[in-house]
Amino acid sequence: MEENLKKELSKAVGENLAEGLLLSGGLDSAILASLAPKIKGITVTLENSGEDRKYAEKVAKFINIEWYRERVEIEEAIKAIPKVIKILKTFDPVIPNDLAIFFGLKMAKQQRIKTVMTGDGADELFAGYSYMHHLNLKEYLPAVASLMHFSSNKLGKFLGIKIRQPYLNKKFIKFALSVPPNLKLKREKGEIWGKWILRKAFEDPLPREIIWRKKVPIESGSGFSKLREILTSKISDREFEKAQRLPVRFRSEEHFYYYKIYRDVVGDVPPAKENEKRCSGCGTGFLPQTSHCKVCGYCYDERY
pLDDT tens-digit readout, 167-209: 999 999 999 999 999 999 999 878 999 999 999 999 988 999 9
Please give the model's pTM, rounded to 2 decimal places.
Answer: 0.94
Q: Give residue 48's pLDDT.
A: 85
On the question of pLDDT at 238 being above 50, the answer is: yes
Mean per-residue pLDDT of the chain? 95
H/E run at residue 191: strand 191-193
Quick one: average pLDDT of 29-54?
96
> Are the C-beta atoms of 200 and 2 separated by less than 8 Å?
yes
Percentage of residues in the chain with pLDDT exceeding 90?
Answer: 88
Residue 274 is predicted with a pLDDT of 85
In order of 30, 59, 86, 126, 212, the CA distances from 261 in angstroms are 35, 37, 9, 35, 39
Kindly tell me if the per-residue pLDDT of 41 is higher than 90: yes
Q: Which of 28, 30, 29, 38 is nearest to 66 (CA)?
A: 38
pLDDT digits (tens, 9 = 90+) for 52-105: 999 999 999 999 999 999 999 999 999 999 999 999 999 999 999 999 999 999
Residue 304 has what pLDDT?
Answer: 41
Average pLDDT over residues 251-268: 98
Structure confidence at residue 302 (pLDDT)? 44
Please state, as a whole number, how many other Cβ atoms lie within 10 Å of the Cβ of residue 298.
Answer: 21
Distance CA 54, CA 2 (A): 28
| Domain spanning 2-222: CATH superfamily | HUPs (3.40.50.620)
Which pLDDT score is estimated for 182? Answer: 96
Distance CA 203, CA 100 (A): 28
- Which pLDDT score, from 0 to 100, does residue 58 have? 97
Which of 139-143, 158-162, 196-200 is least confident? Answer: 139-143
Mean pLDDT of 253-279: 94
Tell me the sheet residues that pair with 72: 46
**pLDDT for 278-303, tens place per residue?**
898 999 998 777 778 999 999 865 44
Question: Which DSSP string corresponds to 161-210?
Answer: -EEE-GGG-HHHHHHHHHS-GGGTSEEETTEEETTHHHHHHTTTTS-HHH
Tell me the domain boundaries of the chain. 2-222
Q: Residue 207 has what DSSP assignment?
A: -
Task: Report pLDDT for 301.
Answer: 54
